[in-house]
Structure 1
């Protein structure tokens, strides 16, 4: 792996500092580094140390993309690198992160292992979401975590009809509806009472948010199914949110169609760490009361 792209959470001073330090370290490892113009300016990176590309092209010609930030930064970067089929490594800069599973303190040792060929690549399922109107298809969007239908400003219920492969499954009144991938099962869906799904399983979660009828529970359906739903009540201020980052207003008569994408995201993992290790660490299943976590950056001379 000789060409490395970096994606930085620009609102995080720790991520900016880490980008500067990592760029210098990668140059010492004789790797070609590419960053965005915004990251280069924020981290004061010399043009001699890194090439500059727009974020949407950061994956072009790269052997690896490293994301410095949190899961939100990782999800945004996933859409930008998807077409290049480049593997992605997420470095968590302080908060809970299932996708950015490598801590900053582990980053340099982890990268040495990657450069030595000691790593696994896992393909993560993605979804494609469509909105169909009388005028035609108005949205086609790749999603790594989830598609969520919900009310906008007012906390009111919605009514929707859900079908799978054209067969009616249920009608529900709820605060909203989540359709999630196995990757997204540890996100919003988990907070809404959904199950944790291993990322290697080929399945999609349908999860009503706070349903009026308590028997409307989350269900997991085969990954090759096509899920569609319509809102049955004429109410304003309804939104479809994609990976928590893009919001699209929903109109009367809209049909939302969701199916497995023909693309997948390639994510790098250490072969010495399995999914259950990640769950135990991120959900603090093994911690005792009073355990403290050190979120400070390691000194540059301690690598």
Structure 2
């Protein structure tokens, strides 16, 4: 969520020029394809890395592992792995919780899970998520921040973890995170 409104642009620009700001360090995600040939880095995301079906609207069968521990076979339309920054984006729309961006964790959110036992959950920032195709004959797309997309082959998996890089966000003292949430999400409350 941007914390600069268009009507504040000149004032905020002046604050930047005056040095009246601070830098907030945010988690980035790193996504890699894992196959028999090894691991191939795909890119970074500040909000989320999403695994969804491509083409035909069918439920996916995916195997979900956290830090090399197999958790479950998931039946869902997809899985979102997000940062706290991305918790107010696609993950929130899919029923995930809002996380303060200063929380050092990752969020795993199912998209339209076809079971009641797969709910959004939070993992430690140093954990990794491995999503494997459980059923062949599935067209699966991996998307980074809704921009870059990659097709996942049947013998490939996607590994998502905290990136070694980070996002540096310019912040101002006049608004805290909860004031921003109230303005952006609960305007009429």
SS in structure 1 opposite 2:136? coil
Greater Rg, structure 1 or structure 2? 1
1:163 is aligned to 65
Could you list the runs of 5+ residues in structure 1 that have no partner in the other structure? 1-97, 289-303
Picking from 209, 217, 221, the partner of 2:111 is 209
Picking from 1, 5, 8, the partner of 1:106 is 8
SS in structure 2 opposite 1:107? helix
Residue 198 (structure 1) shift: 0.4
After superposition, residues 214-233 of structure 1 pair within 5 angstroms as 214-233=116-135
Residue 138 (structure 1) shift: 3.6
SS in structure 2 opposite 1:102? coil
Picking from 125, 128, 135, the partner of 2:27 is 125
Q: In the aligned structure 1, how far is the partner of 2:66 from the partner of 2:32?
A: 15
2:147 is aligned to 245
State the TM-score, normalizing by the size of structure 1.
0.60
SS in structure 2 opposite 1:281? helix
Q: In the aligned structure 1, how far is the partner of 2:155 from the partner of 2:54?
A: 18
Q: In the aligned structure 1, how far is the partner of 2:69 from the partner of 2:54?
A: 29
Q: In the aligned structure 1, how far is the partner of 2:187 from the partner of 2:50?
A: 31
SS in structure 1 opposite 2:178? helix
Q: Greater helix percent: which structure?
A: 1
Residue 247 (structure 1) shift: 0.7
The answer (yes or no) to whether the contact 2:47–2:85 under 8 Å persists in 1 is yes
State the TM-score, normalizing by the size of structure 2.
0.95
Q: In the aligned structure 1, how far is the partner of 2:9 from the partner of 2:88?
A: 23
Q: Greater strand percent: which structure?
A: 2
Picking from 115, 118, 121, the partner of 2:17 is 115
2:182 is aligned to 280
Aligned length: 189
SS in structure 2 opposite 1:216? coil
Q: In the aligned structure 1, how far is the partner of 2:77 from the partner of 2:89?
A: 17
Residue 157 (structure 1) shift: 0.5
Q: In the aligned structure 2, how far is the partner of 1:276 from the partner of 1:223?
A: 22
Q: In the aligned structure 2, how far is the partner of 1:232 from the partner of 1:102?
A: 44
Q: In the aligned structure 1, how far is the partner of 2:73 from the partner of 2:55?
A: 23
1:151 is aligned to 53
Q: In the aligned structure 1, how far is the partner of 2:48 from the partner of 2:183?
A: 23
